[in-house]
């Protein structure tokens, strides 16, 4: 990068950081949904563990719902959004579960430093550990992950498995649509442009000049407010660099699944054009199908990249079935598939059983011959 470009980027960083400071006190919400989500949350402070972040401190937004005596569920969001991605699903679960979620640095209502801060997946995994231990105090919980959050969850899982005394138990692991295996992903042009210094500079300038949306459809307006909070429209360019970290570590993180004793439910929205179903097929066949621990694979035919938004009630139903012991073991999944499939609606999740190729032995008194079907004497 030339000196002129470095100065230009630095100027944008400074301008955006000054705007961020002003927003802390007088940010204007145009969305009731976003305002309510923000007002229902709280913050904890985190000191970055990434070397190049020089022990920078960030404030991280989080929320909880439900009765503290109920089973625990932690929700991990993806990119480029925030914990708000779960706003439609939580009402279907909050009466039965104590739910906690957070916005990772650079996302949602958390701090979004624009001074060269590195938004690392490995550090996000450490944040999850701190969050469940020190902030919400969960000792036994299920973990639901989506998109970028799947990689965070897999890195977290590796840390959990390698720690002889983590101080808590992960009782179930949910994975949803994610480019968790990039060779099979269908990345958008914008995702690729964020990784190039020249195009990133132009994107920064363009986004810094964008006017706020002040009206529109409620959900879209809410996302617009959340992106605008603390200059999230700009920070996402730097959060998007996680693809570089995922590419180097994805296989190592995926290999945590076969060695994990934690049951897995794998949910995939079929109409995902960025992360096609070929990813889930590969991950299931390679890392989950042959596990001894209970695993289930679900395809949601009416959902796209965001099953928790496209079909929140059905995702909640799968979560509930998993956590209440209603999912079959290998010996009974064939009957479950027939019975469940006969009763499901067109938009409901499709249960996909394990693959076990073996020769069939038909209990028949009739045999096939090229000359015809003949009764066996």
| pLDDT tens track, the chain, 377 positions | 443 444 344 444 444 443 333 345 689 999 999 999 999 999 999 999 999 999 999 999 999 999 999 999 999 999 999 999 999 999 999 999 999 999 999 999 999 999 899 999 999 999 999 999 999 999 999 999 999 999 999 999 999 999 999 999 999 999 999 999 999 999 988 888 888 888 877 877 787 778 888 999 999 999 999 999 998 888 988 999 999 999 999 999 999 999 999 999 999 999 999 999 999 999 999 999 999 999 999 999 999 999 999 999 999 999 999 999 999 999 999 999 999 999 999 999 999 989 888 888 888 889 999 999 999 88
Would you tell me how many other CB atoms lie within 10 Å of the CB of residue 76?
A: 28
- Partnered with residue 65 across adjacent β-strands are 99
Angle formed at CA 129 by CA 68 and CA 103, multiple of 5 degrees: 75
Sign of CA dihedral 94, 98, 104, 105: positive
Taking the model in full, what pTM does it have?
A: 0.91
Pair of tokens at residue 246: 């995922």
pLDDT at 25: 60
- Give yes or no for a cis peptide into 80 (omega within 30° of 0): yes
* Helices and strands (H and E) in the chain: how many: 13, 11
Tell me the C-alpha distance between 22 and 29, whole Å.
14
Cβ-Cβ contacts under 8 Å for 231 (sequence gap 6 or more): 16, 19, 20, 23, 112, 114
How many Cα atoms are found within 13 Å in the side-chain-facing hemisphere of 40? Answer: 16
One DSSP character per residue, 226-290 reads: HHHGGGHHHHHHHHTTHHHHHHHHHHHHHTTTTT--S-EEEEEETT-SSS-HHHHHHHIIIIITT
Tell me the C-alpha distance between 59 and 135, whole Å.
13
Q: How far is CA 365 from the centre of its chain?
A: 52
pLDDT at 20: 38
Read off φ and ψ for residue 253, nearest 5 degrees. -70, -40
What is the architecture, at CATH level 2, of domain 26-188+210-375? 3-Layer(aba) Sandwich (3.40)
**103 close to 74: Cβ distance less than 8 angstroms:** no
> What is the C-alpha R_g of the chain?
23
pLDDT at 316: 98
Tell me the C-alpha distance between 93 and 144, whole Å.
13
Coil vs helix vs strand at 58: strand
CA nearest neighbour of 177 among 85, 257, 102: 85
């Amino acid at each position: 990068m030339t000196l002129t470009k470095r100065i230009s980027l630095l100027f944008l960083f400074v301008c955006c950081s000054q705007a961020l400071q002003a927003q802390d006190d007088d940010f204007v919400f145009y969305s009731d949904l976003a305002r309510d989500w923000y007002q229902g949350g709280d913050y904890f402070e985190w000191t970055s563990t990434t070397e190049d972040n020089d022990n920078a401190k960030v404030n991280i937004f989080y929320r909880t719902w439900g009765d503290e005596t109920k089973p625990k569920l932690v929700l991990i969001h993806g990119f480029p959004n925030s914990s708000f991605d779960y706003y439609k699903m939580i009402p279907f679960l909050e009466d039965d579960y104590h739910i906690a979620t957070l916005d990772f640095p650079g996302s949602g209502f958390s701090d979004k430093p624009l001074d060269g801060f590195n938004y690392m997946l490995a550090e996000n995994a450490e944040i999850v550990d701190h969050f469940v231990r020190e902030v919400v105090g969960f000792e036994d919980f299920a973990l639901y992950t989506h998109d970028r959050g799947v990689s965070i969850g897999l890195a977290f899982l590796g840390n959990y498995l390698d720690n002889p005394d983590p101080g808590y138990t992960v009782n179930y692991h949910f994975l949803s649509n994610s480019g968790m295996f990039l060779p099979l992903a269908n990345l958008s042009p914008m995702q690729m442009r964020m990784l190039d210094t020249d195009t990133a500079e132009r994107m920064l300038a363009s986004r810094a000049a964008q006017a706020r949306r002040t009206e529109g459809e409620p959900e879209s307006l809410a996302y617009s407010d959340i992106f605008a909070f603390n200059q999230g429209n700009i920070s996402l360019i730097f959060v998007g660099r996680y693809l570089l970290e995922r590419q180097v570590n994805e296989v190592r993180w995926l290999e945590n699944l076969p060695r994990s004793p934690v049951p897995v439910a794998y949910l995939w929205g079929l109409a995902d054009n960025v992360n096609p179903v070929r990813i889930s097929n590969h991950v299931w066949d390679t890392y989950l199908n042959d596990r001894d621990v209970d695993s289930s694979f679900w395809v949601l035919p009416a959902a796209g990249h965001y099953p928790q938004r496209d079909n929140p009630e059905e995702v909640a139903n799968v979560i509930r079935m998993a956590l209440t012991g209603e999912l079959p073991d290998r010996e009974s999944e064939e009957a479950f598939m027939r019975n469940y499939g006969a009763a499901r609606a067109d938009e409901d999740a499709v249960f996909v059983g394990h693959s076990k190729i073996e020769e069939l032995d038909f209990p028949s008194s009739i045999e096939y011959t090229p000359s015809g079907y003949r009764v066996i004497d």
